[in-house]
Chains A and B, each alone.
Chain A
């Protein structure tokens, strides 16, 4: 399973764009990249998933370069409610593999 590396923490202010990068140098050909958000005492929630290039949904964008050795989660115009831990998960079809999370990035949004 591809090992992931993320910054331990990040700080931002309301209204700013936040970019969180995840490194996954040994990503395999059939691996997907998925980001999750976790609030205290809750289970992580799916944010966005991609395989290559760029993916955008109503809450975030995911940028994946051609070599796929890293990915960047972009949160536009963050608010206080975006304060959470963000996890990058890299792996193939869930039916054939365990899913191991990294340590995550703790994002603190200030007013």
Chain B
């Protein structure tokens, strides 16, 4: 959505490298999320954050790390420990008390070469 910016749109990573995906929002939303989507599959939750300087692991956090130093930013680092990182990554935000209405960015494609 217009208020959530993910970059880069496409990223290539060599095996053994760490890469960081950026997610910035200007919606003033408290909660931010990272999801992974493999081709033809559903969304799986990696990490989420409800407030600044706090975040929780989702269902598939291994091999990923995040930070939430600012309300507007929630970068995701895909580490070399993630053995199969090729996927579509989606960042999302939500406001509290919104009845689970969540807004997504346009996504980032990560490919291991």
Contacts and interface: CB of A to CB of B under 8 A. Distances in A.
A, B assembled together: yes
Contacts of B56: 98
B111 interface: no
Interface string B33-54: 1010000011101001010000
A87 to B, nearest CB: 7
Interface residues of B, number: 32
Given A93-B96, A94-B31, A99 B45 contact: yes
The bracket for how many chain A residues form the interface is 20 to 34
A93 B98 contact: yes
Interface string A4-35: 00000000000000000000000000001010
B81 interface: no
Contacts of B105: 43
B41 to A, nearest CB: 7
Contacts of B30: 95
